[in-house]
Amino acid sequence: MDNHTKKCLQFDSITEKLAKRCSFSLSKKKANILRPLGNIYEINKALSETEDAVKLLNLKGRLPIGYLEDVSETVGYAKKQRILMPAEILAVKSVLTAAKEVIGFTGDMSLPNIGGYIELLDPLAGLYKVIDKAILSEDKIADNASGKLADIRKMIVREEGRRAGVIRELAVSSRLAGALREQSFTVKNSKYVLPVKKDYRAVVKGQIVAGSASGETLFIEPVQILEISSKIDELFVEEENEIRNILKAITADIGANSDVILNNQELLSKLDFFMAKGRLALDLNAEKPTITENGEGISLVNAWHPEIEYDIAVKNDVKLPKGRRSLVITGPNTGGKTVILKATGLLVLMALSGLFITADSASVIPVMRVFADIGDEQSIAQSLSTFSAHLKALKKITDDAKDGDLVIIDEIGAGTDPIEGASLGIAIIKYLQKKNIFSLVSTHYTEVKKFAITDESIVSAAMEFDERELLPTYELRYGSAGKSNAFAIAGRINLNKDIIDDAMALITSNEMEFTDAIDNLYKEEKEAREHREEALMIKLELKKKKEVLSRLENTVKAEKTKIIEEAKEEAREIIAEAREAAGETKKNLKRLKRSQEFNSREYADAVGKLRSASESIYSRGLEEPLSKSISQEHMAEAELKSGALVYVAKLSKNGRIVDIDSKGRCLVDVDGLKVRLPGESLFKPKKEETQRKKRRRDAELIINDAPSELNIIGLDSYDAMYELDKFLDSARLAGKSEVRIVHGKGRGILMNLVRTTLSKCNFVYKYRPGLLNEGGEGVTIVSFKK
């Protein structure tokens, strides 16, 4: 990749983003010098390393590497036996600490592409333990760094305590009370001293250490502690020597393990670099592309420029099928042509550098080099015109590009006479095709448009323009040649009509006919597409209603059968109870007949009453379950009118009357489902809580095992929408709170159909794209209203 291409495609903006996500100076260097790799093995290896980093970030988070210093120079000093300072030793310890923590962090996690780097880490437990025990901070060595140091410091503490005791006694002694400025001691120049009045110098024997600013007070180290102070000074020298010996020993250990330490550092810098690539991928919502051998064609699916935020970016497909080497993009200025070219070139460079790209994972990129000439790169110092600078860049590109490379040219042939510029542009495209080089070019020249449209080896596309709003849509439309829309814009802003007419007259009839023909073809294709979509939606709606009616019919039949069976069962139970009671009564009557008080008429009456009661109970047993199932009050005939709220018993739901026909049958809307029912079958509306409980029971009867996920990948639009409607209805009736719809990414057709349908469902609370670990843009998560 040459500097001109790197500048045109703004590759440095990506390496800067990558470097900001590195924690280690060495990994930042790797990010800043990142360039496309040379072969498919290296590229796929780098992409797999990024993939492992994304996996690790999603499952566990960032590696505990921290902000490390480069210890290469420090280790070099150690090898040369230059004693290291505590701060330098602690920097080495940080490397060992990071190695130890990274090993513990990943544990047994399977990371096939970066796990090998982690396995090679050696935290040098012995050296780490020595440093950890000896060095407390950049300016403090631990007492137990060695036995000798501990003994020396104990003696220092003991002697300092003895000295303090002696001078304290002198300060409070009555003998020196008159000679001291105050009865206490202080420290001057690291010496314990007494504040002696100038005139009493002879009373206090010792060494003058300092004097007051006025000269009236002398600070004297008493002779009684001079020997102790001297002893303490000697101990401090011994302490320094022992510390030096400790540092020397640690330095020797570092020097002896220099290769391992530097290897740890390099491994950690690589791991940190991998994690930076993973973080960049997640931050950009980027995906792993597929890299193929040369000649397979280019396919970027739902691609956008990484400098544009994901939520507002317009996604486009950039495709050069196998056997097609050139893509010519036309359209109005500021319509997005340059952004498409820059995004394509930049994403290819990112992929070849081992980075995920801002496009679907279905994207395919062959191994190649990239050459670009985008924008005005004229050099004032070289006194080159825009066209001359353009030609100079084109010369370098045509000289250097080889079979399988990608060439990107913005406004090919621009900056000179349109006829000559168009001819030059066509010739360059032909030359690149002859050399089997991929090319993406933009143009506003009509002749280049004609050439692209009529040459079967070239893919032609245009940036769409909304002529009503006079704004670009930034969507790339294939199989068309775009217009500049200059006349449309001029007319919209009410430029004098005579000027517009004169301008249009200056354009040759052939050019106008060509542009109009292409534009008319596009309009006809667009209208046909809209009609097809409308017909599809109508067909789907009809099929959905048919399905709902069929399901309703089955539900009603099942409910009817259930009610009858329940009624029969209850009737059988009641009859059995009645027969048992009748049998007992007959026994009692027999006993009564044998008794002296027996009355035959009373006996006959009792038997008749018993028979009547049994028949009544039997009849009630058949009817009661039905009356229980519909305990609501019927709607009066006068209450049946359009807009009235009613209860539909067979659906266990409230609905609203939409219309009443001449036969008195009511068209009732129940949650969007319209059914025609006789007025006598409608009841007064139920309260919400009762209705909700009943609805829940009915939902359990209808669907007791509705799935939580629907996969429509591979279905055409019609079948996909049909399955989606069935799935949503089933999930809703089953009481699901959230479901998952897998539609894939592709060109976004299924995704758009799914989300358009969801936006129109009044029972859908919200929907969102899946997170990266849920499937990303290839999945939609749906939440239902409670």
Q: Are 515 and 483 in contact (CB under 8 A)?
A: yes
Among 196, 215, 235, identify where a domain stops. Answer: 235
pLDDT of residue 696: 44
pLDDT of residue 576: 64
What is the rounded distance in angstroms from the CA atom of residue 464 to the CA atom of residue 471? 9
CATH number at residue 659: 2.30.30
Residue recorded with tokens 């007494």: 194
Residue 366 pLDDT level (bands cut at 50, 70, 90) = confident
15 within some domain: yes
Q: Does residue 184 have a pLDDT over 50?
A: yes
pLDDT, tens digit, for every residue of 554-569?
A: 877 777 777 767 766 7
pLDDT of residue 451: 85
Residue 622 pLDDT level (bands cut at 50, 70, 90) = very low
Three-state secondary structure string covering 197-221: EHHHCCCCCEEEEEECCCCCEEEEE
Q: Are residues 277 and 139 in the same domain?
A: yes
pLDDT, tens digit, for every residue of 503-531?
A: 767 665 555 555 665 666 666 666 666 67
Residue 46 pLDDT level (bands cut at 50, 70, 90) = very high
CATH number at residue 255: 1.10.1420.10
pLDDT of residue 195: 93
Q: Are residues 125 and 262 in the same domain?
A: yes
Q: What is the mean pLDDT of residues 572-600?
A: 56
Q: Does residue 484 have a pLDDT over 60?
A: no
What is the rounded distance in angstroms from the CA atom of residue 653 to the CA atom of residue 670? 7
Handedness of CA 195, 198, 203, 204 (dihedral sign): positive
Residue 651 pLDDT level (bands cut at 50, 70, 90) = low
Q: What is the mean pLDDT of residues 660-688?
A: 80
Residue type, 534: E
pLDDT of residue 514: 59
Q: How many domains does the chain have?
A: 6
629 within some domain: no
H or E element, residue 442: strand 438-442
17 within some domain: yes
pLDDT of residue 490: 67
Q: Are residues 192 and 69 in the same domain?
A: no
What is the rounded distance in angstroms from the CA atom of residue 379 to the CA atom of residue 397? 18
Q: Does residue 42 have a pLDDT over 90?
A: yes
How deeply is 758 buried, as exposed, middle or buried, from its count of CB atoms within 10 A (0-12, 13-18, 19+)?
A: middle
Q: What is the mean pLDDT of residues 746-759?
A: 83
Handedness of CA 357, 359, 362, 363 (dihedral sign): negative
pLDDT, tens digit, for every residue of 682-700?
A: 898 887 544 444 444 444 4
pLDDT of residue 688: 56
**Which regions of 679-717 does DSSP assign to beta strands (E)?**
682-683, 709-711
Handedness of CA 280, 282, 287, 293 (dihedral sign): positive
What is the rounded distance in angstroms from the CA atom of residue 362 to the CA atom of residue 252? 55
Three-state secondary structure string covering 18-80: HHHCCCCHHHHHHHHCCCCCCCHHHHHHHHHHHHHHHHHHHHCCCCCCCCCCCCHHHHHHHHC
739 within some domain: yes
Percent of the chain that is helix, strand, coil (3-state, to 5): 55, 15, 30
Q: Does residue 13 have a pLDDT over 90?
A: yes
Among 216, 235, 254, identify where a domain stops. Answer: 235
State which residues form the domain around 54.
3-144+244-284
Identify the three-state secondary structure at position 769: strand
Residue type, 734: A
Q: Does residue 776 have a pLDDT over 90?
A: no
Least confident of 93-107, 369-383, 393-407: 369-383
- 760-to-105, 753, 764 alpha-carbon distances in Å: 47, 11, 8
Residue 335 pLDDT level (bands cut at 50, 70, 90) = low
**106 CB-near residues (< 8 Å, 6+ apart):** 56, 60, 63, 115, 118
Q: Are residues 348 and 478 in the same domain?
A: yes
Q: Are residues 348 and 477 in the same domain?
A: yes
Q: Are residues 56 and 170 in the same domain?
A: no
353 within some domain: yes
% of the chain at pLDDT higher than 70 = 80
Q: What is the mean pLDDT of residues 355-377?
A: 82
Selection from 327, 483, 353 nearest residue 408 by Cα: 327
- What long-range pairs does 673-679 form, CB within 8 A, spacing at least 24? 673/545, 673/548, 673/552, 675/549, 675/552, 675/648, 675/651, 677/648, 679/635, 679/637, 679/640
> C-alpha angle with apex 340: 335 to 341, nearest 5 degrees?
115
pLDDT, tens digit, for every residue of 293-322?
A: 766 678 888 899 999 888 888 888 888 887
Q: Does residue 677 have a pLDDT over 90?
A: no
Pairing of strands 326-330, 438-442: parallel
pLDDT, tens digit, for every residue of 194-252?
A: 999 988 888 888 899 898 888 889 999 999 999 999 999 999 999 999 999 999 999 99
474 within some domain: yes
Query: Taking all residues of the chain, what is their mean pLDDT, rounded to a whole number?
Result: 81
Q: Are 356 and 284 in contact (CB under 8 A)?
A: yes
Q: Are 135 and 93 in contact (CB under 8 A)?
A: yes
More confident of the two residues 559 and 705: 559
Q: Does residue 364 have a pLDDT over 50?
A: yes
More confident of the two residues 545 and 427: 427
Q: Are residues 267 and 322 in the same domain?
A: no
More confident of the two residues 238 and 580: 238
Selection from 349, 355, 348, 398 nearest residue 373 by Cα: 398
Residue 513: phi, psi to the nearest 5? Answer: -60, -40
Q: What is the mean pLDDT of residues 448-452?
A: 83
More confident of the two residues 586 and 71: 71
Among 559, 586, 617, identify where a domain stops. Answer: 617
Identify the three-state secondary structure at position 320: strand
Residue 578: phi, psi to the nearest 5? Answer: -65, -45
**What's the chain's Rg over C-alpha atoms?**
45
Handedness of CA 754, 756, 759, 761 (dihedral sign): negative
What is the rounded distance in angstroms from the CA atom of residue 435 to the CA atom of residue 656? 72
- 1-to-6, 288, 460, 705 alpha-carbon distances in Å: 7, 22, 27, 58
Of the CA atoms within 13 Å of residue 650, those in its CB half-sphere come to 20
Q: Are residues 221 and 75 in the same domain?
A: no
pLDDT of residue 775: 81
Selection from 441, 367, 423 nearest residue 43 by Cα: 367
Q: Does residue 482 have a pLDDT over 80?
A: no
Q: Are residues 72 and 53 in the same domain?
A: yes
- 83-to-71, 73, 603 alpha-carbon distances in Å: 14, 13, 126
**Which regions of 213-352 does DSSP assign to beta strands (E)?**
217-222, 290-292, 298-303, 316-320, 326-330
Q: Are residues 339 and 475 in the same domain?
A: yes
Q: Does residue 590 have a pLDDT over 70?
A: no
pLDDT of residue 220: 92
Interhelix angle 258-283/223-256, nearest 10 degrees: 70
pLDDT of residue 621: 38
pLDDT, tens digit, for every residue of 139-155?
A: 899 999 999 999 999 99
Q: Does residue 591 have a pLDDT over 70?
A: no
- DSSP secondary structure, 460-510, as one string: EEEEEEETTTTEEEEEEEET------HHHHHHHTT--HHHHHHHHHHS-HH
CATH number at residue 207: 1.10.1420
Least confident of 36-45, 161-170, 705-714: 705-714
CATH number at residue 743: 3.30.1370.110
Q: Does residue 731 have a pLDDT over 70?
A: yes
181: its two tokens:
């400025």
301 within some domain: yes
What is the rounded distance in angstroms from the CA atom of residue 644 to the CA atom of residue 323? 66
Q: Are residues 181 and 303 in the same domain?
A: no
Least confident of 251-260, 405-414, 444-453: 444-453
pLDDT of residue 772: 77
What is the rounded distance in angstroms from the CA atom of residue 478 to the CA atom of residue 89? 63
511 within some domain: no
Residue type, 434: K
Interhelix angle 72-79/86-106, nearest 10 degrees: 120
Identify the three-state secondary structure at position 85: coil
Residue 783: phi, psi to the nearest 5? Answer: -115, 135
Q: Are residues 139 and 151 in the same domain?
A: no
**499 CB-near residues (< 8 Å, 6+ apart):** 490
pLDDT of residue 689: 42
Longest alpha-carbon distance in the chain: 152
Q: Are 100 and 139 in contact (CB under 8 A)?
A: no
pLDDT of residue 578: 57
Q: Are 341 and 8 in contact (CB under 8 A)?
A: no
% of the chain at pLDDT higher than 90 = 33
H or E element, residue 517: helix 509-594
Residue 340: phi, psi to the nearest 5? Answer: -60, -45
What is the rounded distance in angstroms from the CA atom of residue 514 to the CA atom of residue 47? 46
